[in-house]
Amino acid sequence: MPPPLQNQALDPVNPASVGLVPSLGSLVRGLSCLFWGLPLVLVLVVQTVKTDHPRALHLWGTVSAFALVAYGIHLLGDFQRRERIWQRTVEALRIASLLNLGFCPFLFFWSRFPNQTAFRSMVDLLAVSFLYFLIELHPLLDRLVAMLPDEALREETRVFARMGRWILTPVWGGLVFYLLVTRFHLVPPFMLPWFAFLSEGGLWFGMLLALLPVALTMSLLWKIKELVFHSVFSRDHGNSAPQ
């Protein structure tokens, strides 16, 4: 595990310290992209699905929101490039974010042509991929704060990350099970009423369960961004000030 940033003094004459600042800038920008991108994704997905006649604005808005999230993950990869565990975690989320970006246009096409099996299958894959992305985002934040100097934030992130995974993992497993048995017509007769209920309100039920983990994640993203910005860049500004 790399040493906390507080032990890496931001000394203008220290080449290692000077090289750290651009990566921290990418880290702050990446966290900001995730903070704004996640709620935009949820809002635009709901708008696209519930609109009777979605327009091109819904398509490009949804693609832009998913692209913002993918760009945020890309920026996080500029931080601590030599840490293999951190980079593996970022790479897994980068792949998931690119899959989300590739699948998300089919949400618009499925809303316009709901009877097309191919479009519906792509939307199913988008739901599975996006929930996986949310699940894996929590250990990424946990590993990130382990490299930062705030012990209280590390403990808070550990608790919230564990809580988010406890909520989202059963939802993801239930979604995969639901999609498999319904798409391949394997629903047991005694479960037909439950599956009928999920078919009518399953989207809203899933969104409701995802709101709490997303809210916790946004809170952690903001706190981590503010910690890096104030404790590192403010300190760097003070060190660079004329004596």
Q: Rounded to two decimals, what is the model's pTM?
A: 0.81
User: In whole angstroms, how large is the CA radius of gyration of the chain?
Assistant: 21
Q: How far apart are CA 95 and CA 133, in angstroms?
A: 9
Low-confidence ranges of the chain (pLDDT < 70): 1-22, 192, 194-207, 231-243
Alpha helix locations (H) across the chain? 15-50, 56-76, 84-103, 105-112, 117-145, 151-183, 192-228, 234-240
Cα(207)–Cα(111) distance, rounded to whole angstroms? Answer: 17
Contact of 8 with 23, CB cutoff 8 Å = no
C-beta of residue 227 within 8 angstroms of C-beta of residue 153: yes
Return d(Cα 48, Cα 45) in angstroms, integer. 5
| 200-210 confidence digits (pLDDT tens) | 665 566 667 77
Given a contact cutoff of 8 angstroms between Cβ atoms, the answer to whether 21 and 237 are in contact is no
pLDDT digits (tens, 9 = 90+) for 101-144: 999 999 999 988 888 889 989 998 998 999 999 999 999 999 99
* Domain positions in the chain: 15-236
